[in-house]
Structure 1
Amino acid sequence: MTDEGPTGVSGQDIVAQAPVGITRFDASQEGSPVVYANERFLEMTGYAAAEVVGRDWLALRGEETDAASVAVLRDAVAASERAAVELRNYHADGTPFWNRVRVAPLRDGSDEVSEFVAFHEDVTEEKRHEETVEALHAVATRLQTEESVDAVCQRTVTAAATLLDYDMCTILIRDGDWLVPRATAAGAPADGSRRMRLDQGLAGKTYQTGEAWIVDDLAADANSDPAKEIYRSGISVPFGDGGVFQAVQTETNAFDQRDVDLTELLVTHTASAIGRIEREQELQRQNERLEAFADVVSHDLRNPLTVLGGSLQMAEETGEREHFERGRRALERMEQLIDDLLTLSQSGGAVEEAAAVDLATVAAECWDTVATSEATVSVQTAATVRCREGRLRQLLENLFRNAAEHASGAVAVTVGDLPDETGFYVEDDGPGVPDEERERVFESGYSTTGDGTGLGLSIVREIAEAHGWTVTLTDSARGGARFEISGVETVA
């Protein structure tokens, strides 16, 4: 006879069909042998009932089980008390699993403890999750030691491959109108990722919405544009102000919400490391500008001040006009230096509010402010660019002034579009710049003319970088200098 509940189900049936593993063992006998194991315990461990009953109740623990946890259980049994631990146990086939064990004494009618009951729960996935989270937090420390954005991105995809089993993953970061791969896991095909427009594919959708997405079947998803046909499912997670992390698998339904949560944790650390690098780079640029200001104030401004002082003294003594003219030129020189210093101090901050600007109109207006009687300009662009108009004017005026100052005689300047609508160029037919000087021309204070401030092209670089553009110097088709400004966002 067995006790039955109101539904007619016996207590033995409830134990046998319980969703957790249950065993009973006899603590009064040597070795505390198992006297009962329910179906869930046998299913969880892979053993048959005959292989379990009669064995030491801790026989499944394996050699790697934490001795301290085993001692906790044995002490609880000896004291007839409850206890709970997590043990590294082994299935019948030898594969390990984490077993959360809770034991409690069973008392008979005289309140004596004759047996113990143990509840077993396979928490392997939970433990793996905890270990993965801990490992991802450890990655955060290593990411903060990297000194470049590319290094941070590479360490991120390596960690994703190692800790999250994302053999095929990539990081894309915004560069102008594109999301550009900055690092790809070693397990991905060589051409397994490509740059994407800001509104293209799953990467574009992630960037535009700022939300994470899981696609169970890439072939059936209208928003996806996978780089390879073998990619069947994917995950896409945004991070920072302009980054997207993506991972793919060759089978469908390979990702779930837990993958999203772990990926978001990883790329949060990535965004933090990139933000630190960008702040350090901005601080370095500010320091360089301060050094440039100090150089100009201590040297370049001192020279015309000396000239002005000498000219005033000679003018006072002689009254001759040439001394007044010399003093006036010194004042003009100081005014130009001060204007350039003010421009440089305002050109480095990141552009946050941009508007659509007609490049040809601005170029023509800028030319009128700096043109000489011998110089000509040809504007061959119909582009509309997103920028701060005032800073674009400063950039063009400095490039035009640079061309006029370095050409001996008439100079022809051209403004045109770069191929693939990636930006624009300003070139001239002047003497050009030797290869060995092309990097130095952008340094503050560097000038090849006696009356130049050496700040004009430094201002150009600062304005370009503030917009997220890149400026490079090369030869024009006519042998002069050609400045290419790329990564410019255009408006259709």
Structure 2
Amino acid sequence: MSRQSPNSVFDSLGDLVFTTDERGTLVTWNDAVRGATGLDDGELRKTTLSELFERVDGEALDSAFEAARETGHERVEATLVTAEGTPSPYEVRFDRLDDGPTDAAVVGVGREITARRAREAELTKRESVLREVYEIMADRDQPFTEQVDRLLALGQDVLGTGYGTLSSVAGDEYVFEVVRAPDDSLEAGETIPLSATNCERTVATEQTLVLADIARDAPDLAERTGFTEWGISCYLGAPVYVDEEVYGTFCFYDETPRAEPFSEWEVTLVDLMSRWVSAELERRHTTDRLRRTNDQLERFAAVVSHDLRNPMNVIEGSLELAADTGDEEHFERCRRALDRMDRLVDDLLSLARTGETIDDVAPVALSTVAERAWETTGTDDATLAVEADLTVRADEGRLRQLFENLFRNAVEHGGPRVTVRVVALDDGFAVADDGSGIPPAEREQVFESGFSTATEGTGFGLTIVSEVAEAHGWDVGLAESADGGARFEFTGVDVVEEVEPGEPRT
């Protein structure tokens, strides 16, 4: 490696290799030095270290050079301006030459570190992203939806996508829960067919779906509405779980395909975010279940301490009077008290069951369930008219429980000859009667546990109705019927089909 030996072994190395004299002027060099600088041998022979590298690094270079002459070796980072005029960072190692050529004091090796610096910069960026992810997840003072919104914003920035969403799946529908979009064309609460989305595949496979270019990577998905009408051209989405079931997806997408595939880091980041969302939703659902359980326990304690104690006192007093007088009426009071206790126990058990999650629903005929509930409710001379038969997806046992309590409520408040009608709505059904109705001032209270205006009522019937509806994901509302009675409306029901209305039944 010298001016006299240009084809030395050092010429095959990619690193810069050179020696300098005691003043830092180049003595020998390899081909890499020539190639990087664009200087010929005559020019290099006159070049010093401060001229080989940018002058802004001169002081550091000089210090490292002198340190190497004293201690034997030293390292320093410096910038070399290439033959194309591009600044290029190098790590330079100096070693003292004790037995080298008489005019060479130090050997230098320079290694280009652009790739290393890029890796370090990328690691620093990733560390910053992970720190921000942690701060978002740890911020318990923010509502869950705001935490998710911040995660979506961060994901959009890292991935360079225009859209980020957390969505849930309800049957065949895809519901946007939290949305980040470049405009107001998509908002939280909107619902679209699941089959139109790429998320349907994420849900079906229960695996993260990674598509840098949908038309190229998944031509079958390019036939869906998401691509043909909305122009979604790249997608990265992960499943979200609650109770070990797929709740929905946490995903990012854009209208422009990516030139490069999503990196392993980007996929891992989205997976990390989706797992936190799953864990947080699971925690929230567990908290809600515990809260409902605690509420039930409080209701049960209130009933045991008050409502059940009253009929027990009646029984005790009536038995004493019966023992003294032998009057049959006292035994009849005992029987009525026992009947009330039996009703209270049945309603308490019903409330306990309505708090359970509905895991298995199936198509059921609304009219059939209503008629069976009517037969077992004790409706005396009341009349049931099923004016629209629907097939809905529901838990048949719970739905029957709902009807039984509605029918009992109608008879208790409307009298033994009340007429109850089951009618169809656009997305559900209604149960209406021609009784005395419920005053507007009391309509917000009727679903509260223990509230009743009937003498023999337990106050739990409509609470059971409300909780059965909630367990199915239905909304329940109360209004006045056309006949002046009460009308309970159930919407958000998964209606499978509608058939011809049946005949009124008595």
Cα separation, partners in 2 of 1:40 and 1:139, compared to 1, 3 Å: farther
Q: 1:159 to 1:82 in 2, by over 3 A?
A: same
Give the match's secondary structure for 2:269.
Answer: helix
Of 394, 419, 422, which residue of structure 2 is paired with 1:415? 422
| Matching residue of 2:433 | 428
Q: Deviations over 1:41-76 (max 9, x none)?
A: 89xxxxxx99x9726679579xxxxx9xxx999999
Q: Which of these residues, 329, 335, 349, is aligned with residue 342 of structure 1?
A: 349
| Equivalent-residue separation in structure 1 for 2:359 and 2:473 (angstroms) | 11
Structure 2 Cα separation of the partners of residues 40 and 297 of structure 1: 93
SS at match of 2:276: helix
Deviation, 1:192, is: 6.2
Report the CA distance between 1:390 and its aligned residue.
2.0
Once the two structures are TM-superposed, the CA of residue 418 in structure 1 deviates from its matched residue by 3.0
> What's the CA shift for 1:215?
4.0
Shift of 1:314: 1.0
- Select the residue among 443, 447, 470 that pairs with 2:475: 470
2:195 alignment partner, one of 192, 196, 199 = 199
The residue type paired with residue 224 of structure 2 is: S
* 473 and 209 in structure 1: CA distance in 2 versus 1, 3 angstrom threshold: farther
Q: Kindly tell me the number of residue pairs found equivalent between the two proteins.
A: 455
Give the equivalent residue in structure 2 for 1:291: 298
The C-alpha deviation readout for 1:98-151, integer Å capped at 9, x for no partner, is 98x766555658388532434402223343233323322332212x54455x44
* 1:53-452 aligned within 5 A: 54=51, 59=56, 104-106=93-95, 108=97, 110=99, 114-120=107-113, 121=115, 122-123=118-119, 124-142=121-139, 144-147=140-143, 150-162=145-157, 164-175=159-170, 177-185=172-180, 187-191=182-186, 194-217=190-213, 221-222=221-222, 224-226=224-226, 229=230, 231-240=232-241, 241-253=246-258, 256-258=262-264, 259-419=266-426, 422-452=427-457
Once residues 279 and 475 of structure 1 are traced to their aligned partners in structure 2, the CA distance between those partners, rounded to angstroms, is 36
SS, match of residue 268 in structure 1: helix
Q: Give the aligned partner of residue 466 of structure 2.
A: 461
AA aligned opposite 1:226: G
Measure the CA separation in 2 of the matches of 1:77 and 1:109: 9
How far is 1:439 from its partner?
Answer: 3.1
Structure 2 CA distance for partners of 1:398 and 1:41, relative to 1, 3 Å: farther
- After TM superposition, the structure 1 = structure 2 runs for residues 15-26 of structure 1, keeping only pairs within 5 Å, are 15=14
Alpha-carbon distance between aligned partners in 1 of 2:167 and 2:306, rounded to the nearest angstrom = 45
Q: Is the contact between residue 357 and residue 385 of structure 1 (CA under 8 Å) also seen in structure 2?
A: yes
- Alpha-carbon distance in 2 for matches of 1:310, 1:75: 106
Which residue matches 1:482?
Answer: 487
User: Counterpart of 1:352 in 2: which secondary structure?
Assistant: coil
The answer for the alignment partner of 2:501 in structure 1 is: none
Task: Report what 2:11 is aligned to.
Answer: 12
| Deviation (angstroms), 1:207 | 2.1
- Tell me the CA shift for residue 264 of structure 1: 1.7
TM-score (norm 2): 0.75
Residues 324, 358 of structure 1: alpha-carbon distance in 2 compared, 3 angstrom cutoff? same
Amino acid at match of 2:108: E
Determine the C-alpha separation between the residues in 1 that align with 2:373 and 2:488.
Answer: 16
- Distance, in Å, in 2 between the alignment partners of 1:27 and 1:246 is 61
In 2, the alpha carbon distance for the partners of 1:30 and 1:138 equals 51
Q: Is contact 2:73-2:95 (8 Å) kept? A: no
The runs of 5 or more residues in structure 1 that have no matched partner are 5-9, 17-21, 43-48, 62-66
Shift of 1:318: 0.9
Q: Decide which moves more: 355-364 or 308-317.
A: 355-364
CA distance in structure 1 between the partners assigned to 2:371 and 2:80 by the alignment: 79
Q: CA deviation at 1:77?
A: 10
* Native 8 Å contact 2:17 2:107 kept in 1: no
Q: CA deviation at 1:300?
A: 0.7
- Greater shift, 204-213 or 187-196, is seen at 187-196
Contact 1:24 1:118 in 2 (8 A): no
Please tell me the residue identity of whatever aligns with 2:485: G
Helix, strand or coil for the counterpart of 2:14? helix
The amino acid across from 1:184 in the alignment is V
Root-mean-square deviation over aligned CA pairs: 4.3
Residue identity in the other structure for 1:211: Q
CA contact (8 A) 1:214 1:256 kept: yes
**Equivalents in 2 of 1:253, 1:328: separation in Å?**
77
Query: Deviation at 1:217?
Result: 4.9
- Judge conservation of contact 2:233–2:254 (CA < 8 Å) in 1: yes
Q: Is the 8 A contact 1:176 1:488 kept in 2?
A: no
Query: Which letter maps to 1:410?
Result: R
CA separation of 1:102 and 1:91: change in aligned 2, threshold 3 A: closer
CA offset at residue 288 of structure 1? Answer: 0.7
One-letter amino acid of the structure 2 residue matched with residue 295 of structure 1 = A
Secondary structure class of the residue paired with 2:477: strand
Cα distance, 1:340 vs structure 2: 0.7
Q: Deviations over 1:357-409 (max 9, x none)?
A: 33221111111111523322222444333333222221221122122222145
Structure 2 distance, partners of 1:349, 1:72, is: 74
Amino acid at match of 1:110: D
Q: Percent identity?
A: 33
2:379–2:408 CA contact under 8 A, matched in 1:
no
Q: Is the 8 A contact 1:447 1:454 kept in 2?
A: yes
- 218 and 484 in structure 1: CA distance in 2 versus 1, 3 angstrom threshold: farther
Cα distance in 2 for residues equivalent to 1:359 and 1:186: 41
CA distance in 2, matches of 1:348, 1:173: 22
Structure 2 unaligned regions, length at least 5: 38-43, 498-506
Greater C-alpha Rg: 2
**In 2, are the aligned partners of 1:98 and 1:127 still within 8 Å (CA)?**
no
- 1:471 and 1:291 mapped to 2: Cα distance? 24
Q: Which moved more, 1:52-61 or 1:207-216?
A: 52-61
In the alignment, which residue of structure 1 is the partner of 2:503?
A: none
